[in-house]
């Protein structure tokens, strides 16, 4: 976004969010501001009784001010009163509203509606939020007449369109009859990925002179969203590389040593996964309790199903290798032999040219291991697939949820094929042989690890682009 | 207050790479102890950062500088940098000394003749081999490349930096890795050290040649003389272009010592011979040793300089994204601009007295979803579903003309109860002896909305049992009007 656009932005745009009581106005604001704690939302009618402002910024400048208003609850009586007051005089819409606001009932019986109308007169435009599950009633029509007479553009917003009981067609017709044809469909519980963009685009058709402001806002949001997604995929890529390259040495292959080693390795992997999950939740600004639920596989921000249980893997569609015996930890691969590595002169020079002294040392370590009888435990491919699958599903769930959702995320599992059913991508295959790429092992080669993570990240980005 | 004033200056004295490096150090420290939560300085650091600039990356950097000053991370970074510089200096001295002494050793004492080809190999051989290896490494290993001397220097700096420096070196590696700088600065250090070594060797060579007298031969056991002639001339071609004198073929042949043949006319080499060989030696050292290294050094140095100013924090990585969102939020709350009033008087239920007529069944805003009107007993008056102002007025008028003994108002519980409807219910109740509410469609209503109906109706003055859900019970109650039963 160029600085030119930023400096040309004028005063912030003021939008009032109005509508009948309990249509989801505060929810809408929470979604638009990505602020879970804005306002106080529940199902009790008339919950918002005040006018509260929220500001949207782009690069530190306020571009949009949104005002949450109390619900309009008595439009029929109010319209009647307005008409009685203005009887005999030829006043236009805003004039009538001003007359009403000066009258005594604006402070008593119609105090709530007076707040709404006052805010509308102070704003540049208004979002008229409609619960599309409600039938179109006479009181809604009176309400539209009231709000339409304030003299500012009205953009109707059909909320809860994803609900089974929603009836869009009667609403569209009713709105068309009062001249409102530009309508936005929205669902604050599960907003469509381009819902916000369409909202601001339609608004910019109503407010032509503020077009550049709204374009800047849209661009900023898209940048943020793309950046957030990339950061999430990078977290996953880092975790996968760490897990793939992770090694746990055991001195001998006695059963007890192996068991201890396996236990320790599994614990490391679980902790690493948890770190990734915490980072993802925090990246999308969700608390652990937002993903809570009894039927869901997560509790308190942690996955419930044990990663190393063959059933978990099967439920995720990951094929478990033949080495997974019951009792032994599923998915544990034992790197028993360092065999196949010949340190011929050609290989040595190739190693020098390719990776310098590091590679030589690496081969040296493995040879030494062969001599001392040390064995290396590492994680099976199926575990890596499972980790990748469920973390990607989590990201999808987080992306698709608005901040207003009050019910936990419904989350699909088992039906989708697991990631990479045939072979793992190249960076992961390489990572199997590069213990220095894992932060779980002792010494880390930061540069090489970073390169591997970037390559895997591109792979993940491509995957998710295909999935969208 | 002077302390306050000093703090309002921007991060002084740190160029852009180092200030971002410091930000990385602070980030690593914070990631290492996430459970401790924000420290006491954090809030002030954030305020300070927000006050300086709008740019979110600069805010992160300023915040990091603020925190690092107080936590000692800044000092640790400066110490590490100093250690690295001293290590580099030590290595440079070592390189100079070893280059100088290598030259002297290679020439040997002036008693014996200098085996000129052997001497060249000793001076240049390792250097050229390492240079070729470095070049191949650069081509094939991509970003993981870097000269081995450079790696050695880095390893030494890390060893001497102690426990404080762990985060600092980690941050340095991370930042460089992300910017792709690693191979350039490692290569720059490598070439720099090698250049020093070779220049020192050249100096040693010059001094030795100036102050001692040497004679130059070449020796062989199995190679023909022609090979040497060709070798010397081919190698000497490039220095010759730059103005160095090289020995001609005859001179070369005469300087040879072969297995067969005598000692050669070694001891009495003329001045021109010695000069020719010396200049050849110096020229080849310069052209094949120093120049490539210097050119590589210049290239790496300029790439590095350009890249350094373009180093940026990865604001899209998870850690910085969160921090940037905190420091430069995209939304903020504007607060309440029109506060809610204290409690306002609301309508209350009432009832009619006096002459009461037939019971009435009325529907409020039922829409098309509910089947209306239901089958009722003969004595019950039914009204259409009431929605608009006119319908409300008409229904009220009918009831006013003939008040009902019992009034049952059916409401759709899917809608949310609003003040307007409740107010009107209160008005209606003035024209009925007893009023009850019948909530329709309760099976499709969610629990909270149902509870809010209950609450609003009880606020109005309805008792719990006056809110009915079951159709039969409601209609029976209505039809039983006139039997004189009290309102149970």
pLDDT digits (tens, 9 = 90+) for A409-431: 444 444 445 677 778 888 888 88
Residues of A with Cβ-Cβ distance to B389 under 8 angstroms:
76, 79-80, 138, 142
d(CA B201, CA B195): 10
Q: What is the pLDDT of residues B369-416, one digit of tens each?
A: 667 788 887 888 888 888 889 999 999 998 888 888 888 899 988 888
Q: Do A283 and B456 touch (CB under 8 A)?
A: no
* Cα of A39 to nearest chain B Cα, Å: 10
CA torsion, points A317, A321, A325, A328, in degrees to nearest 10?
-90
Cis omega (within 30 of 0) on the bond before A164?
no
Chains A and B: how many Cβ contacts under 8 Å?
191
Q: Which two tokens stand for residue B31?
A: 């990631």
Q: Show residues of chain A in contact with B141, CB under 8 Å.
A: 353-356
The pLDDT tens digits for A66-114 are 999 988 989 999 999 998 888 888 888 899 999 999 999 888 889 989 9
| Residue A172 and residue A190 in contact, taking contact as beta carbons nearer than 8 Å | no
Q: Nearest C-alpha of chain B: how many angstroms from A33?
A: 6
Predicted pLDDT at A169: 92
Rounded Cα distance between B272 and B247, Å, is 9
Q: Is a pLDDT exceeding 60 seen at residue A185?
A: yes
Residue with tokens 């040296």: A364
What the block records as the tokens of B380 is: 């019950």
In chain B, the N- to C-terminal Cα span, in Å, equals 76
CA B369 from chain center: how many Å?
54
Our CA-based measurement puts residue B456 at a distance from the nearest CA of chain A, in whole angstroms, of: 9
Give the residue carrying structure tokens 């059916």. Answer: B410
> What's the confidence (pLDDT) of residue B142?
67
Residue A346 is encoded by which pair of tokens?
């050609």
Other C-beta atoms closer than 10 Å to the C-beta of A230 total 19
Distances (CA, A) of A85 to A105, A142, A149, A151: 11, 16, 15, 19
What's the length of chain A? 468
**Which chain B residue has its CA at the smallest distance from A449's CA?**
B177
Section A322-329 average pLDDT = 34
Token pair 């509870």 is found at: B451
Note whether B420 and A73 are within 8 A (CB): yes
Distance CA B465, CA B385 (A): 24
d(CA A306, CA B87): 50
Closest chain B residue by Cα to residue A56: B331
Q: What are the backbone angles phi and psi of residue B107, rounded to the nearest 5°?
A: -75, -25
pTM of the model: 0.73
pLDDT tens for residues A388-408?
A: 888 887 887 777 665 554 444
Measured distance CA(A366)–CA(A347) in Å, rounded? 15
Q: Which residues of chain A make contact with B133, given a CB cutoff of 8 A?
A: 352-353
* Nearest-by-CA chain A residue for B330: A57
Residues of B whose CB is below 8 A from A75: 420
Select from B330, B339, B367 the Cβ nearest to the Cβ of A50: B339
Nearest by CB: A74 against B177, B182, B419: B419
Structure-block tokens of residue A300: 């308190």
Distance of CA B279 to the CA centre of its chain: 55
Q: How far is CA B101 from CA B123, B174, B205, in A?
A: 11, 38, 9
> pLDDT grade, residue A129 (50/70/90)?
very high
- Which residues of A fall within a CB distance of 8 Å from B130? none
Q: Which of B148, B329, B423 sits opposite A357 (nearest CB)?
A: B148
Residues of chain A with Cβ-Cβ distance to B394 below 8 Å are: none
Give B305-320 pLDDT, tens digit per residue: 888 888 888 877 777 8
The pLDDT of residue B2 is 37
Please determine, for residue B186, whether its predicted confidence score (pLDDT) is greater than 70.
Answer: yes
Mutation target to probe the A interface, by most A beta carbons within 10 A, among B318, B368, B427 is: B318
Convert chain A into a string of H (helix), E (strand) and C (coil). CCHHHHHHCCCCEEEEEEEECCCCHHHHHHHHHCCCCCCCCCCCCCCCCCEEEEEEEECCEEEEEEEECCCECCHHHHHHHHHHHCCCCCCCHHHHHHHHHCCHHHHCCCHHHHHHHHHHHCCCEEEEEEECCCCCCHHHHHHHHHHHCCCCCEEEEEECCCCCCCCHHHHHHHHHHCCCCCCEECCCCCCCCCHHHHHHHHHHHHCHHHHHHHHHHHHHHHHHHHHHHHHHHHHHHHHHHHHHHCCEEECCCCHHHHHHHHHHHHHHHHHHHHHHHHHHHHHCCCCHHHHCCCCCCEECCEECCCCCCHHHHHHCCCCCCCCCCCCCCCCEEEECCCCCCCCCHHHHHHHHHHHCHHHHHHHHHHHHHHHHCCEEEEECHHHHHHHHHHHHHHHHHHHCCCCCCCCCCCCCCCCCCCCCCCCCCHHHHHHCCCHHHCCCCCCCCHHHHHHHHHHHHHHHHHHHHHHC
Indicate yes or no: CB of A111 within 8 angstroms of CB of B330: no
Chain A residues inside the 8 Å CB shell of B142: 451
Residue B213 has pLDDT above 60, yes or no: yes
Residue whose entry in the numeric block shows the structure tokens 């209306």: B372
How far apart are the C-alpha atoms of B167 and B378, rounded to whole Å?
A: 89
Residue B16 or residue B290, greater confidence: B290
Comparing CA positions, the residue from B109, B339, B65, B100 lying closest to residue B204 is B100
- Greater confidence (B472 vs A343) lies with B472
Residue of A nearest to B420 (CA): A74
Place of tokens 């390492």: B130
Measure in Å the smallest separation between the Cα of B244 and chain A Cα atoms: 34
């Amino acid at each position: 976004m160029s600085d030119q656009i930023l400096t040309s932005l004028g005063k912030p745009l003021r939008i009032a969010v109005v509508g009948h009581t309990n249509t989801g106005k505060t929810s809408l604001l929470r979604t638009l501001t990505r602020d879970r704690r804005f306002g106080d939302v529940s199902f009790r009618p008339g919950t918002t009784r005040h006018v509260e402002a929220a500001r949207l910024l782009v690069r530190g400048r306020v571009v949009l001010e949104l005002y949450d208003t109390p619900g309009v609850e008595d439009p029929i009586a109010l319209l009647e009163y307005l008409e009685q007051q203005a009887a005999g005089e030829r006043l236009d819409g805003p004039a009538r509203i001003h007359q009403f606001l000066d009258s005594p009932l604006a402070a008593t019986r119609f105090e709530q509606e007076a707040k709404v109308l006052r805010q509308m007169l102070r704003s540049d435009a208004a979002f008229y939020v409609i619960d599309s599950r409600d039938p179109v009633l006479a009181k809604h029509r009176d309400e539209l007449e009231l709000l339409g007479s304030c003299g500012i553009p009205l953009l109707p917003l059909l909320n809860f369109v994803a609900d089974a009981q929603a009836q869009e067609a009667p609403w569209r017709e009713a709105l068309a009859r009062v001249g409102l044809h530009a309508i936005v469909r929205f669902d604050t519980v599960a907003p469509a990925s381009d819902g916000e963009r369409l909202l601001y685009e339609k608004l910019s058709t109503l407010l032509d002179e503020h077009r550049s402001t709204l374009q800047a806002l849209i661009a900023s949001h898209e940048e943020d969203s793309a950046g957030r997604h990339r950061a999430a995929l990078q977290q996953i890529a880092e975790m996968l590389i760490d897990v793939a390259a992770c090694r746990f040495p055991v001195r001998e292959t006695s059963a007890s040593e192996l068991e201890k080693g396996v236990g320790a390795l599994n614990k490391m992997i679980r902790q690493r996964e948890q770190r990734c999950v915490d980072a993802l939740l925090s990246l999308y600004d969700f608390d652990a309790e937002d993903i809570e639920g009894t039927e869901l596989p997560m509790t308190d921000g942690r996955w419930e199903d044990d990663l190393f249980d063959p059933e978990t893997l099967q439920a995720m569609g990951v094929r478990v290798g033949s080495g997974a015996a019951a009792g032994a930890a599923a998915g544990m691969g034992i790197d028993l032999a360092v065999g196949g590595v010949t340190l011929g002169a050609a290989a040595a020079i190739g190693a020098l040219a390719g990776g310098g002294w590091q590679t030589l040392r690496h081969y040296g370590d493995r040879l030494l291991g062969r001599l001392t009888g040390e064995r290396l435990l590492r994680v099976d491919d199926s575990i890596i697939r499972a980790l990748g699958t469920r973390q990607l599903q989590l990201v999808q769930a987080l992306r698709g949820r608005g901040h207003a959702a009050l019910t936990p995320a419904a989350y699909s599992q088992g039906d989708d094929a697991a990631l990479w059913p045939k072979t793992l991508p190249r960076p992961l295959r390489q990572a199997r042989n590069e213990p220095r790429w894992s932060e779980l092992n002792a010494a880390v080669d930061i540069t090489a690890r970073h390169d591997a993570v970037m390559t895997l990240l591109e792979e993940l980005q491509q995957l998710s682009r295909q999935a969208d | 207050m002077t302390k306050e004033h000093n703090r309002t200056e921007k991060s002084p004295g740190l160029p852009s790479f180092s200030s971002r490096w410091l930000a990385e150090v602070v980030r690593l420290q914070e990631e290492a102890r996430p459970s401790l939560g924000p420290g006491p300085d954090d809030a002030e650091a954030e305020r300070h950062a927000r006050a300086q600039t709008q740019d979110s990356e600069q805010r992160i950097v300023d915040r990091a500088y603020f925190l690092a000053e107080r936590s000692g991370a800044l000092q640790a970074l400066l110490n590490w940098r100093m250690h690295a510089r001293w290590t580099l200096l030590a290595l440079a001295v070592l390189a100079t000394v070893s280059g100088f002494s290598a030259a002297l050793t290679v020439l040997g004492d002036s008693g014996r003749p200098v085996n000129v080809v052997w001497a060249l190999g000793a001076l240049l051989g390792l250097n050229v081999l390492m240079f070729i290896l470095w070049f191949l490494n650069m081509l094939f290993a991509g970003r993981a490349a870097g000269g081995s001397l450079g790696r050695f220097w880095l390893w030494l700096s890390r060893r001497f930096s102690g426990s404080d420096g762990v985060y600092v070196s980690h941050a340095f590696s991370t930042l460089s890795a992300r910017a792709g700088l690693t191979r350039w600065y490692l290569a720059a250090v490598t070439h720099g050290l090698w250049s020093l070594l070779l220049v020192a060797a050249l100096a040693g060579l010059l001094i030795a040649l100036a102050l001692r007298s040497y004679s130059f031969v070449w020796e062989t056991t199995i190679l023909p003389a022609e090979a040497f002639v060709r070798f010397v001339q081919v190698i000497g071609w490039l220095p010759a272009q730059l103005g160095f004198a090289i020995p001609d073929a005859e001179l070369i042949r005469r300087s040879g010592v072969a297995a067969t043949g005598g000692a050669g006319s070694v001891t009495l080499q003329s001045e021109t011979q010695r000069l020719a060989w010396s200049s050849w030696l110096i020229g080849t050292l310069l052209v094949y040793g120093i120049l490539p290294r210097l050119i590589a050094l210049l290239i790496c140095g300029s790439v590095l300089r350009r890249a350094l100013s373009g180093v940026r924090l990865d604001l899209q990585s998870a850690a910085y994204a969160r921090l940037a969102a905190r420091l430069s939020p995209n939304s903020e709350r504007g607060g309440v601009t029109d506060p809610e009033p204290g409690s306002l008087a609301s309508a209350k239920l009432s009832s009619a007295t006096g002459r009461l007529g037939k019971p009435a069944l009325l529907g409020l805003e039922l829409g098309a979803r509910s089947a209306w009107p239901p089958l009722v007993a003969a004595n019950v008056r039914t009204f259409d579903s009431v929605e608009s102002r006119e319908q409300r007025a008409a229904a009220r008028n009918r009831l006013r003309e003939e008040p009902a003994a019992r009034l049952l108002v059916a409401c759709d519980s899917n809608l949310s109860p609003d003040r307007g409807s409740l107010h009107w219910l209160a008005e209606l109740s003035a024209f009925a002896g007893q009023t009850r509410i019948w909530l329709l469609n309760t099976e499709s209503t969610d629990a909270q909305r149902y509870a809010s109906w209950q609450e609003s109706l009880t606020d109005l003055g309805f008792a719990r049992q006056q809110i009915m859900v079951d159709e039969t019970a409601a209609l029976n109650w209505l039809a039983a009007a006139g039997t004189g039963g009290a309102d149970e």
